[in-house]
Amino acid sequence: MSQTSFEQMTTAQLRAYVLEHREDEVAFHVYMDRLYAAPKTASFPAGGDMRAQIEEVLRRRRGEH
Task: Tell the burial category of 15 from Cβ atoms under 10 Å away from its Cβ (0-12, 13-18, 19+).
Answer: middle
Among residues 29, 30, 22, which one has the least CA distance to residue 4? 30
- Angle made by CA atoms 16, 13, 10, in degrees to the nearest 5: 150
Q: Which domain holds residue 35?
A: 3-62
Give how many domains the chain has, as a whole number: 1
pLDDT band at 65; cut points 50, 70, 90: low
Whole-structure pTM value: 0.57
- The more confidently predicted of residues 60 and 45 is 60
Half-sphere exposure of 38 (CA within 13 A, CB side): 13
Residue 26 has pLDDT above 90, yes or no: yes
